[in-house]
Amino acid sequence: MAPELERLSLNQVSVNRWSLPEAVEGCARGGLRWIGLWRDKVAACGLERSARLVRDAGLEVSSLCRGGFFPAATAAERRARVDDNRRAVDEAAALGTGVLVLVCGPAPDRDLESARRHVAEGIAEVAPYAAGAGVRLGVEPLHPMYAGDRSVVVTLAQASALAERLPPEQVGVVVDVYHVWWDPEVFGEIDRAAGRILGYHVSDWLAPPPDPLLGRGLMGDGRICLPPLRQAVEAAGYTGPIEVEIFNQAVWDLPGDDAVALIKARYLAHV
Amino acid sequence: MAPELERLSLNQVSVNRWSLPEAVEGCARGGLRWIGLWRDKVAACGLERSARLVRDAGLEVSSLCRGGFFPAATAAERRARVDDNRRAVDEAAALGTGVLVLVCGPAPDRDLESARRHVAEGIAEVAPYAAGAGVRLGVEPLHPMYAGDRSVVVTLAQASALAERLPPEQVGVVVDVYHVWWDPEVFGEIDRAAGRILGYHVSDWLAPPPDPLLGRGLMGDGRICLPPLRQAVEAAGYTGPIEVEIFNQAVWDLPGDDAVALIKARYLAHV
């Protein structure tokens, strides 16, 4: 492997047409060391088989997406969400990754404050269990564009405040440039998160955004100045894998190997 | 007029199919006191004629949209933007409104920090001129979704920090729920903006957002809990008009009088 590609991880959603076995083969063919997995694709392949395929291909799993979605209208439903997060922890451990990414979930109603409290409570319930399995929870703030349907946690400041309630061995944050690039406080907040950064994800922000969900760009196609952000997470002590996570229909429509080739080239040029 | 509608202002973009004369007539027919105007529609009608139509209909102009768009690649272009803002001030004064809404503009490149500095410089240049004309500049933070193409000012904290560089007689902020509802700091920041709030705009956040630009909902159709936000701006001393500003193709496709009727009903029920 080219040493400059050693930290690149292909988040498998970037080549969404590939099944898990295809993504594993594609990473191996592309000379990558890391892969980021999604629970739905792991489930479709089977957990044990997924773990074996990854291991046999000599890959490492940078993270599993995703736990979270804690807020719910009833205590019973919130309990079910916590249980599901415990299963996600088990899956992460079986796949050999130490990081479960949390997308915290939206409010079930218009009450953001209660929903944010449910997130804190859910994390507090799952974190010790996760630590016991060798898995840390990575709170990923999502772009405020997703505040209504995906996450009431929308700033790195919020994510760190949640993480700081628990030991760094249990909970940290995931910095995804697409979600945080706009934030006037982003550099100070990355600095604050030193020792808690469990993942660094890259893509680009197209302007104007072509679509709220499938509008992420390849690095270099958009508005995000990536080098200072990478420098900041490294200055904060993060030296782990860098996941390329691109939700973009045009990228998804490419043949998988072509998408991987493009991602490698853009990573080398822009990340 | 029903006293409970006394503060409702129809931002004319909410009935985008109407020309300025049609919007003025529509407001009068609908029994409204206030209208929020846009420069392009004023220009299409003619400035003096617009001012006369508004006056003759007994309406008041809550604000003029929009100045701003300060960042640019060259000093000459930035100068041209400042000149254009001076013209916007003149137009606001001619229309009899004391508030020019600023949409601050995107970066011309990937350098958010420089662009934010250009915004501060532009405001500093325009503000004294505006005050001389009896017009205050209302810095409107836009939703971070627009950081790439419309505004590098994306939080109320940022808007207030910009405003606080100059006297409250010159510069304040505009609070639009669509742009700020997601912000964990929103209530604290509204409190901080006491004495500087120059406008309060309402609509709703649909989830998931159907479109990055034309996805605003009618009040009651989305995720924003409006009453606490109104209470907060009122507790911060704002008792002026409340603009309903809805960019939504489905609303735009309604006959104008129907849109006004719906807006009034939703205002009474939810704002």
pLDDT for position A2: 76
Model confidence pLDDT, tens digit, residues B89-148: 999 999 999 999 999 999 999 999 999 999 999 999 999 999 999 999 999 999 999 999
| A129 in reach of chain B (CB within 8 A) | no
Most distant CA pair in chain B, distance: 51
Q: What is the pTM of this model?
A: 0.97
At A68, list the tokens: 């979270």
When pLDDT is averaged across residues B57-85 and rounded to a whole number, the result is: 98
pLDDT of residue A1 exceeding 70? no
Q: B208–A212: do the CB atoms touch at under 8 Å? A: yes
What are phi and psi for residue B158, nearest 5 degrees? -65, -45
How far B175 CA sits from the closest chain A CA (Å)? 16
pLDDT for position B110: 97
Residues within 8 A of A (CB atoms), B 162-191 only: 181-184
At B246, list the tokens: 């809805």
Q: A211–B208: do the CB atoms touch at under 8 Å? A: no
pLDDT for position A180: 98
What are chain A's domains?
Answer: 3-270 (3.20.20.150)
Task: Find, in chain B, the residue whose alpha carbon is nearest to that of A161.
Answer: B184
Q: How confident is the model at residue A3 (pLDDT cuts 50, 70, 90)?
A: confident
Model confidence pLDDT, tens digit, residues A184-207: 999 999 999 999 999 999 999 999
Q: Say how many CA atoms lie within 13 Å of B234 toward its Cβ.
A: 11
Average pLDDT of every residue of chain B: 97
| A228 in reach of chain B (CB within 8 A) | no
The string over A12-50, giving b where at least 16 C-beta atoms fall within 10 Å of a residue's C-beta and e elsewhere, is: bbbbbebebbebbbbbbebebbbbbbbbebbeebeeeeb
Average pLDDT of every residue of chain A: 97
Model confidence pLDDT, tens digit, residues B215-264: 999 999 999 999 999 999 999 999 999 999 999 999 999 999 999 999 99
When pLDDT is averaged across residues A230-252 and rounded to a whole number, the result is: 97
How far A213 CA sits from the closest chain B CA (Å)? 9
pLDDT of residue B1 exceeding 80? no
Task: Find, in chain A, the residue whose alpha carbon is nearest to that of B223.
Answer: A110
Q: Are strands A171-176 and A34-38 parallel, antiparallel or unpaired?
A: unpaired
Token pair 């209302």 is found at B138
Q: B145–A209: do the CB atoms touch at under 8 Å? A: yes
Q: B208–A148: do the CB atoms touch at under 8 Å? A: yes
pLDDT of residue B4 exceeding 80? yes
| A247 in reach of chain B (CB within 8 A) | no
Q: A181–B147: do the CB atoms touch at under 8 Å? A: yes
Find the DSSP H helices in chain B: 20-29, 39-45, 47-56, 75-95, 112-132, 156-163, 177-180, 186-192, 226-235, 249-252, 256-270
| A29 in reach of chain B (CB within 8 A) | no
How many C-beta atoms surround the C-beta of residue A10 within 10 A? 31
CB-based contacts of B135: which residues, under 8 Å, 6+ apart? B89, B92, B93, B97, B98, B99, B100
